[in-house]
């Protein structure tokens, strides 16, 4: 029996070994894909890092680029060049340059005459002072005397510090008196680079490394210098040596990305060691090999268990026949149950549709309820201009009888203005009561707030409520629906008046606006009783109210919250630390004077 078993197992393990040999070559494309993926990821990451460093470097240089031209116009510096033998004038120039250097953060600022001699410097009182030294050999001096903005990077012959030089001519009319030079310290740009595997390298037009995160690379040449470049190095002395040593790097060991800076002629490079790619690639290949081994073992296990499955097939077939009989019986029961479930689902869908329609009607009912509450103040607002129109009309008739046509024309003009006011009030009522289906648009906040206040003005005066505003005069544009925003403001102001009606005087309402990067926040605060703990938790629930059934249905805040979310805003409820309720409307900022959607037709 054991011999038969060993003969049956031997072909099986041979098959597994053959399968392993066939699948092993799949690890090579896996390695290739992993290398390409991690290389692309590292390149993208380093590209963003390189862009940030380049932007920081250019920002540092551009901050000082215009400084020599501006300082060259200062009278104290021009006087120093016109009177180089006057100690008082030179002393004033030195102190001015030192003060400007402290204010701007430049390394050194110094003034040279047209022969290159330094007359004044911000470091005049230091041991390594530039005063009295001649830098006519520097190219920035020659460019400045020629009327151009001088630029140069080099090692200071006096201080021994690296720096970038900007120079501009100092003129007296058309005459060039000298040059003003600003030296920028770039050492801190190297310090910005953290201790990371990636390395920074900035090379000048000669291919010499001038800034780097690796000190041993500094002032090494990335390529051989030709004769012209060697002559320029000898004349300008930008490096500590006239013959920079070559920077020997293994190109295969580094992944290099570069940016060219046209302003300076520099090349900024970031070098990432390829080991950053090799390590995860090895991990991927190892995981792939382990997965391959697991797959082969699973195949062997399946082959071993296949024989057991064949033995169970016969038993399963017999059990399946019995199961099929039971399934047929259960299927009939399930079909009957499914039919009942379909009927219930249909009934629930119809009930849901009825609920949505009912909620929509309740929202509109809430608007009309609020509109009815404001009808008394609106009738008062209309009765006043109607009485005035009647008086002006009667006076106009008397004036016409007496031939005073100019005065009569003035009365008619006043009548026209009053009718326009009445039309505006009626138009706002129509806009408040209508169903708003518009998408959010760019509207002015103050007019909508003024309309809501006007609709409740009579009630506010009847309650002797003091209105305190902290709203800017400049128009604030927000993203909202004109009718929806007007309804929200009206409901919130009406709720504040309801809360103040339960309180003894003094009664106050505060309105304030805060602007930030996210938009505009309108805050409405009263000195009423405020929200209870339960009210803060359930105020947004429909039909929840602390009033009697005759005072409201509990839909006001629920409607306001839904309307604010519909226009992309937010309604926040809280109690003020000094007492009373604090409601905040957060609205998105809109484009000034531009409607994103056609304005609503208030005459419809």
pLDDT digits (tens, 9 = 90+) for 241-259: 888 888 888 778 888 888 8
The percent of residues in the chain predicted with pLDDT above 90, rounded, is 14
Predicted confidence at residue 131, as pLDDT, reads: 92
Q: Is residue 465 a contact partner of residue 507, using CB atoms and an 8 Å limit?
A: yes
Tell me the backbone φ, ψ of residue 237, rounded to 5 degrees: 55, 55
Predicted confidence at residue 430, as pLDDT, reads: 62
Strand order in the sheet with 209-212: 209-212, 199-203, 266-273, 254-261
Q: pLDDT tens digits for 136-186?
A: 999 999 999 998 999 999 888 777 788 899 999 999 888 899 999 999 988
| 3-class DSSP assignment, residue 504 | coil
Predicted confidence at residue 434, as pLDDT, reads: 55
Provide the sign of the torsion angle of the four alpha carbons 28, 33, 39, 41, taken in this order: negative
| DSSP summary character for residue 26 | G
Mean pLDDT of the chain: 81
**Mean pLDDT along residues 417-446:** 68
Letter string b/e over residues 68-83, b meaning 16 or more CB atoms within 10 A of that residue's CB: bbebbebebbbbbbee
> Regarding the domain delimited by 188-275, which CATH topology (the fold level of the hierarchy) does it fall under?
Beta-Lactamase (3.30.450)
Predicted confidence at residue 1, as pLDDT, reads: 46
Q: Is residue 89 a contact partner of residue 77, using CB atoms and an 8 Å limit?
A: no
Indicate whether 603 pLDDT > 50: no
Q: Which distant-in-sequence residues (6+ apart) come within 8 Å of 181 by Cβ?
A: 68, 108, 109, 110, 111, 112, 135, 140, 141, 144, 150, 165, 166, 167
Measured CA to CA, the distance from residue 219 to residue 242 in angstroms comes to 10
Predicted confidence at residue 58, as pLDDT, reads: 86
**At 547, is the pLDDT very low, low, confident or very high (cuts 50, 70, 90)?**
low
Q: pLDDT tens digits for 376-403?
A: 546 655 665 676 788 778 888 888 888 8
Q: pLDDT tens digits for 72-121?
A: 889 999 999 999 999 999 999 999 999 999 998 899 999 999 999 999 99
Q: Interhelix angle for 482-501 vs 405-433, to 10°?
A: 90
Q: Is residue 154 a contact partner of residue 239, using CB atoms and an 8 Å limit?
A: yes
Structure-model confidence comparison of residues 467 and 187, the more confident one: 467
**At 436, is the pLDDT very low, low, confident or very high (cuts 50, 70, 90)?**
low
How many CA atoms does the CB half-sphere of 318 hold within 13 Å? 4
Predicted confidence at residue 554, as pLDDT, reads: 55
Go through the chain and tell me how many residues it has.
604
Indicate whether 427 pLDDT > 80: no
The partner residues of 153 in beta bridges, in order of sequence, read 164
Provide the sign of the torsion angle of the four alpha carbons 408, 411, 413, 419, taken in this order: negative
Measured CA to CA, the distance from residue 24 to residue 277 in angstroms comes to 22
| 3-class DSSP assignment, residue 272 | strand
| 3-class DSSP assignment, residue 520 | strand
**At 371, is the pLDDT very low, low, confident or very high (cuts 50, 70, 90)?**
low
Q: Is residue 93 a contact partner of residue 130, using CB atoms and an 8 Å limit?
A: no
Predicted confidence at residue 601, as pLDDT, reads: 39
Residue ranges, comma separated, of all CATH 3.30.450.20 domains in the chain are 66-185, 188-275
**At 510, is the pLDDT very low, low, confident or very high (cuts 50, 70, 90)?**
very high
Measured CA to CA, the distance from residue 221 to residue 234 in angstroms comes to 15
**At 453, is the pLDDT very low, low, confident or very high (cuts 50, 70, 90)?**
confident
Measured CA to CA, the distance from residue 455 to residue 425 in angstroms comes to 8
Predicted confidence at residue 545, as pLDDT, reads: 66
**Segment holding 516, helix H or strand E:** strand 507-516
Indicate whether 349 pLDDT > 50: yes
Tell me the backbone φ, ψ of residue 178, rounded to 5 degrees: 175, -155
**Mean pLDDT along residues 357-381:** 59
Q: Which residue is it, tokens 């290739």?
A: 32
Which CATH class name applies to 437-604? alpha beta
Instruction: Write the Ramachandran bin of 3: left for phi over 0, alpha for psi from -120 to 50, otherwise beta.
Output: alpha
Pairing verdict, β 519-526 and 581-589: antiparallel
Measured CA to CA, the distance from residue 161 to residue 19 in angstroms comes to 67
Candidates 478, 488, 481; CA nearest to 561 is 488
Structure-model confidence comparison of residues 374 and 337, the more confident one: 337
Predicted confidence at residue 364, as pLDDT, reads: 62
Other C-beta atoms closer than 10 Å to the C-beta of 132 total: 10
Predicted confidence at residue 55, as pLDDT, reads: 87
Measured CA to CA, the distance from residue 77 to residue 169 in angstroms comes to 12
The partner residues of 582 in beta bridges, in order of sequence, read 525, 574
Most confident of 32-41, 88-97, 573-582: 88-97
Q: pLDDT tens digits for 298-307?
A: 777 777 777 6
How far out from the chain centre does Cα 561 lie? 26
Structure-model confidence comparison of residues 319 and 602, the more confident one: 319
Q: Is residue 168 a contact partner of residue 177, using CB atoms and an 8 Å limit?
A: no
Predicted confidence at residue 374, as pLDDT, reads: 55
Residue ranges, comma separated, of all CATH 3.30.565.10 domains in the chain are 437-604
Predicted confidence at residue 375, as pLDDT, reads: 61
Q: CA separation (Å) from 247 to 126, 250, 510?
A: 36, 10, 71
Superfamily, domain 66-185: PAS domain (3.30.450.20)
| 3-class DSSP assignment, residue 587 | strand
Candidates 125, 123, 121, 154; CA nearest to 137 is 154
How far out from the chain centre does Cα 39 lie? 29
Q: pLDDT tens digits for 40-75?
A: 887 888 888 888 888 888 888 888 988 998 888 899
Indicate whether 19 pLDDT > 90: no
Indicate whether 584 pLDDT > 70: yes
């Amino acid at each position: 029996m054991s011999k038969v078993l060993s003969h049956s197992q031997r072909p099986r393990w041979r098959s597994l070994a053959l399968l392993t040999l066939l699948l092993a070559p799949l690890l090579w494309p896996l390695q290739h894909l992993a290398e390409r993926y991690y290389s692309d990821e590292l390149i993208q990451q380093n590209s963003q890092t390189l862009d940030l460093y380049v932007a920081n470097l250019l920002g540092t240089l551009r901050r000082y680029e215009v400084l020599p031209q501006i300082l060259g116009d200062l009278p104290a510096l021009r006087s120093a060049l016109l009177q180089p033998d006057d100690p008082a004038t030179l002393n004033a120039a030195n102190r001015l340059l030192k003060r400007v250097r402290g204010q701007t953060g430049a390394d050194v600022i110094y003034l040279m005459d047209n022969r290159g001699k330094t007359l004044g410097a911000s470091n005049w009182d230091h041991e390594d002072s530039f005063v009295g030294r001649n830098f006519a050999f520097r190219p920035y001096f020659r460019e400045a005397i020629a009327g151009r903005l001088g630029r140069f990077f080099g090692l200071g012959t006096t201080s021994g510090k690296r720096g970038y030089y900007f120079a501009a001519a100092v003129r007296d009319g058309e005459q060039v008196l000298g040059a003003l030079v600003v030296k920028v310290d770039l050492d801190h740009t190297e310090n910005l680079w953290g201790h990371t595997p990636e390395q920074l390298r900035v090379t000048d037009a000669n291919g010499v490394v001038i800034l780097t995160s690796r000190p041993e690379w500094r002032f090494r040449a990335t390529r051989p210098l030709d004769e012209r470049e060697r002559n320029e190095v000898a004349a300008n002395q930008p490096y500590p040596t006239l013959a920079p040593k070559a920077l020997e790097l293994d190109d295969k060991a580094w992944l290099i990305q570069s940016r060219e800076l046209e302003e300076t002629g520099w090349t900024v490079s970031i070098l990432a060691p390829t080991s950053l790619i090799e390590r995860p690639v090895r991990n991927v290949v190892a995981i792939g090999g382990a997965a391959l081994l697991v797959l082969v073992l699973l195949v062997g296990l399946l082959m071993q268990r296949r024989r057991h499955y064949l033995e169970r097939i016969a038993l399963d077939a017999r059990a399946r026949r019995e199961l099929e009989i039971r399934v047929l019986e259960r299927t009939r029961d399930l079909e009957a149950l499914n039919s009942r479930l379909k009927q219930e689902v249909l009934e629930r869908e119809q009930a849901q549709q009825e609920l949505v329609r009912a909620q929509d009607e309740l929202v509109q009912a809430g608007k009309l309820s609020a509109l009815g509450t404001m009808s008394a103040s609106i009738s008062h607002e209309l009765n006043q201009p109607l009485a005035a129109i009647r008086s002006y009309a009667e006076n106009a008739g008397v004036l016409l009888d007496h031939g005073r046509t100019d005065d009569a024309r003035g009365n008619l003009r006043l009548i026209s203005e009053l009718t326009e006011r009445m039309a505006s009030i009626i138009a706002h009522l129509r806009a408040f009561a209508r169903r708003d289906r518009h998408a959010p648009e760019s509207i002015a906040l103050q007019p909508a707030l003024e309309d809501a206040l006007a609709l409740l003005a009579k009630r506010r005066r009847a309650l002797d409520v003091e209105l305190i505003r902290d709203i800017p005069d400049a128009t604030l544009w927000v993203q909202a629906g004109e009718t929806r925003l007007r309804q929200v403001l009206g409901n919130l102001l009406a709720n504040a008046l309801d809360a103040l009606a339960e309180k003894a005087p003094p009664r106050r309402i505060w309105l304030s606006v805060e602007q930030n990067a996210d938009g505009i926040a309108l805050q409405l605060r009263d000195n009423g009783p405020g929200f209870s703990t339960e009210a803060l938790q359930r105020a947004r629930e429909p039909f929840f109210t602390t009033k009697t059934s005759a005072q409201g249905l509990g839909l006001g805040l629920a409607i306001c919250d839904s309307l604010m979310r519909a226009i992309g805003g937010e309604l926040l409820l809280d109690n003020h630390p000094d007492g009373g309720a604090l409601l905040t409307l957060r609205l998105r900022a809109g484009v000034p004077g531009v409607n994103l959607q056609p304005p609503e037709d208030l005459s419809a």
